[in-house]
Amino acid sequence: MTRALAVAALELAIAATRATADPRPWHGSVGAGGSVLLAGEGDGARPRLDAEIDLLPGGALDRYGALVALRGADGDHHGLLCAGLLFEAAAARPRLALAFHVDAGADLDARAPLFGGGLRTTLGIVGPLGVAFDATGELVLDGLAHARFVIGASAMLVVRW
């Protein structure tokens, strides 16, 4: 009996060392939608535009990727242009993915640098079509007297792959 348990434990250990996760394929999304700025930019009462492209190459980079985004643009403000790193913290692919992001970029009107980050949730609807919800905070360094923290939330229609 003891020998059979030892053999079974050894076989289980060998199988566990061979069981590696399939390499993650490259994936990403591109989308645009509406946003509202909750703080840091005017009164936030009017709808604004957000657009984002994110790519996660998979392979050796596993859950890391990059993004380019335009946040909080409208007729009076050209928005915040950001590039950043993405970390897919959790996923139930292909339907759901949660990713943290850190951004650096510029306020296009003030020509001021910005740094920030947030959480992006992408939810598949049907096929490649999905929605993405993003909550972001950006510190805009427009001089010492005019520095501000812009907090925004967006909902975008996305195409995922």
Residues 35/153, Cβ–Cβ less than 8 Å? yes
Q: Which tokens hold the place of 48?
A: 């604004």
- Cα(139)–Cα(103) distance, rounded to whole angstroms? 10
User: Tens of pLDDT along 52-93?
Assistant: 999 999 888 889 999 999 999 988 889 999 999 999 998 887
Q: Measured between alpha carbons, how far is 43 from 63 in angstroms, rounded to an integer?
A: 37
pLDDT at 105: 97
**Is a pLDDT exceeding 80 seen at residue 10?**
no
Quick check: 84 and 101 in contact, CB under 8 A?
Answer: yes
* Chain segment 119-140, per-residue pLDDT in tens: 999 999 999 999 999 999 999 9
Which domains are delineated in the chain?
Answer: 23-160 (2.40.160)
At 155, is the pLDDT very low, low, confident or very high (cuts 50, 70, 90)? very high
Q: What is the pTM of this model?
A: 0.80
The predicted structure's pLDDT at residue 9: 63
- Using the predicted structure, report yes or no on whether residue 50 has a pLDDT greater than 70: yes
